[in-house]
Amino acid sequence: MNIKQLVLVLFICFLGFKAQSQVCILDIGSSNSDKIIENFQLKDEQLTLLKTLKEDLKKEMDVLEKQQKDLFENHPQSTPDELMVLGQKHKVIEDKMFAVTVKYDQKLISVFNEKQYGRYVLLCNTAGRTPIQILEK
């Protein structure tokens, strides 16, 4: 893959990320768990749920990351058309990864009490992001 082809693929991926970046995610799967625990003062039940959600999220993300790796290793990348198809397929996987991230964040946010959710909304609004809605119980 030459530099022009790489730039094209990265640009296509960036467009998908930019559209998704308006959602206010906690990203419980990242190394930010300590900050989530601290900022929202999670209770014991919420801490247990967070641990379970992180494990479940990791399993789903591992599958998608394998798909992503397989795509880059096996998809033809010799022509601009092949690169466009690669970029489109990669965007589908990236969209799935983002949706999984939102799904697990939503599960945690849905057990927030009123004060915790209010803090989350305030932080989202400050960052200019759209808060995730609480799931109906």
Which of 5 and 25 is assigned the larger pLDDT? 25
Q: What residues have CB less than 8 Å from 79, skipping those under 6 apart? A: none
Q: Which of the 8 DSSP states describes residue 32?
A: T
Could you tell me which of 112, 130, 133 has the C-alpha nearest to residue 36?
A: 112
- Would strands 23-24 and 130-131 be described as parallel, antiparallel, or unpaired? parallel
Q: What residues have CB less than 8 Å from 129, skipping those under 6 apart? A: 21, 22, 23, 24
Q: pTM score, two decimals?
A: 0.80
Residue 105 near residue 116 (C-beta atoms within 8 A):
no
**Please, what is the average pLDDT of the chain?**
86
Query: How crowded is residue 47: how many other Cβ atoms within 10 Å of its Cβ?
Result: 12
Among the ranges 1-5, 8-12, 15-19, 116-120, which has the highest mean pLDDT value?
116-120
Mean pLDDT across the stretch 23-49?
Answer: 92
